[in-house]
Amino acid sequence: MKLTILGCYSATPRTLNNTTSQVLEINNHMFLIDCGEGTQVQLRRHKIKFNRIKHVFISHLHGDHFFGLVGLISTFRLLTRETDLHIYGPKGIKEVITLQMKLADSWTNYKLIFHELTSTETELIFEDDKVEVHTIPLNHRVYTNGFLFKEKAGERKLDIKAVEAANIDTAYFRKLKQGFDVNNKDGILIDYKKVTKPANKPQSYAFCSDTMYKEDIVPLIKNVDVLYHESTFLEKHAHLGPKTKHSTAIEAAKIAKLANVGTLVLGHYSTRYDSLNAFKEEAQTVFKNVELSEDGKTFEF
């Protein structure tokens, strides 16, 4: 699982600060999460192949999370993309994108498939045989969802030497990987555990931005490997949290602790602060395993 932070600042793009966007690589998928203005340039800068992006998840329709989407769609068109593009986001996203295409008289030559979200309960919004994506309803000034990306439990792995020694026909390998005992060529029942190894542990990533402190999300993100939780403010501006519906670093850490996550990644920093270290220090008073997102930083989990 690899996470590339394209932008992790709040409010407005600046010369050195990009607004929210990140790419999650998980099980051969490349999911784009949020798409602030300038995301297409950040994708180019970090050499992420446009064609590998087939699914875009937009948390909410504030500009710092989606003003780059129409430009990305438009650039894909100019580059004569043919691959379908799925867009998951709040109701209204289809209207605003298609209105701009209509005004520009520039319809995509590839298929643009909108999945508009309206539910305030968690939903399964994407699923294939390897990965699931669920929404995480958040509490912000407008309708907002976080997203939970979860690998499915994979099959067990063959222990090639043991399988060969046990004289099992290859036709039964799939059954063994699925956890069934099978007969070998001599008619002897073989315990699958003796010729296979456990599957890789499925990994999970939760993206929670923007939101004020919301404990209701804890059951949804329980035990995830990595939690990205917004931390717009430091403690000295904690009073602004409820007003603007954002969180502090300490609140993000409280959620991480309650949910027993592996690693907490902080981001969506207000640009009022000169240094990011205080975000980590404050969060670590509550939860130890904290990482700071930074534009262009890549995490491998």
Q: Where does this chain bind a second copy (CB under 8 A)?
A: 11-15, 37-38, 40-41, 44-45, 61-63, 67-68, 70-71, 74-75, 78-79, 90, 92-93, 95-96, 99-100, 103-106, 141-142
Instruction: Kindly tell me which of 132 and 294 has the beta carbon lying closer to a second copy.
Output: 294
Closest CB 49 distance from a second copy, rounded Å: 15
Q: Is 64 annotated as a binding residue?
A: yes
Q: Is 191 a catalytic residue?
A: no
- Contact (CB, 8 A) for 136 and 208: yes
Q: Is 105 annotated as a binding residue?
A: no
Residue corresponding to tokens 């504030």: 62
Sign of CA dihedral 276, 279, 285, 291: negative
DSSP 179-210: T--EE-TTS-EE-HHHHEEPPPPPPEEEEE-S
Instruction: Kindly tell me which of 92 and 242 has the beta carbon lying closer to a second copy.
Output: 92
Q: Which amino acid would we find at residue 265?
A: V
Q: Is 140 annotated as a binding residue?
A: yes
Instruction: Kindly tell me which of 18 and 204 has the beta carbon lying closer to a second copy.
Output: 18
Instruction: Kindly tell me which of 144 and 293 has the beta carbon lying closer to a second copy.
Output: 144
Q: Is 239 annotated as a binding residue?
A: no
| Phi and psi based region of residue 72 (left: phi greater than 0; alpha: psi -120 to 50; beta: remaining) | alpha
Annotated active-site residue in 34, 64, 186, 274: 64
Pairing relationship of beta strands 124-127 and 112-117 according to DSSP bridges: unpaired
Residues in CB range of 180: below 8 A, 6 or more apart: 192
Binding-site residues for Zn(2+) sit at 60, 62, 64-65, 140, 210, 268
Q: Which residues are tagged catalytic?
A: 64
Binding-site residues sit at 60, 62, 64-65, 140, 210, 268
